[in-house]
Amino acid sequence: MTLKPPEETYVHNAAELTALWQDLMGPWGFARRSLWLIFLHADGQLSPVVMPIDDIPVQPDAEMLANLAAVIDQLADDVGISSAALLLSRPGSAHITASDTAWAREIARAFAGRLTRWPVHLATRGTVRTFAPDDLIASRSA
């Protein structure tokens, strides 16, 4: 996918979402941990808002995520957004860490319902990957 203006960008499936995240994140890497949100309309059109939350802690903050989900849910009703997609970015290797899977689990839990139509992604230097269900299941039993 080549990055286009939001009004020309549509996401209809997980592969298109991954390609969009790759375009948005680029190959440069990250100096700090961030949680990124993008918003999609019912027809898949990308909203022009990209929301980074920088300097998130190593371990997920369930209360912060629940509050964020409540705000996003209200925003969705107010402006006609049908879903939010989330990506965790951090410095370091592309290897999924226990912290990464804990964040992915808490994100999925907090955004359960209509806002979690999309898989959670992880971005590290030059790599964007999707948290597969097996990644999350394995982390629960570890």
Domain residues of the chain, as ranges?
6-141
pLDDT tier, 142 (very low <50, low <70, confident <90, very high otherwise): very low
**Quick one: which of 38, 37, 74 has its CA closest to 56?**
37
Q: Give the C-alpha separation, 139 to 120, whole Å.
A: 15
Q: What is the pLDDT of residue 2?
A: 67
pLDDT top residue among 33 and 138: 33
**Does the pLDDT value for residue 141 go beyond 50?**
no
Partners of residue 45 on adjacent β-strands: 10
CATH 3.30.43.10 fits 6-141, yes or no: no
Q: pTM here?
A: 0.90
pLDDT tier, 78 (very low <50, low <70, confident <90, very high otherwise): confident
| Average pLDDT, integer, range 133-141 | 60
Q: Give the C-alpha separation, 68 to 91, whole Å.
A: 23
Place of tokens 């990506």: 87
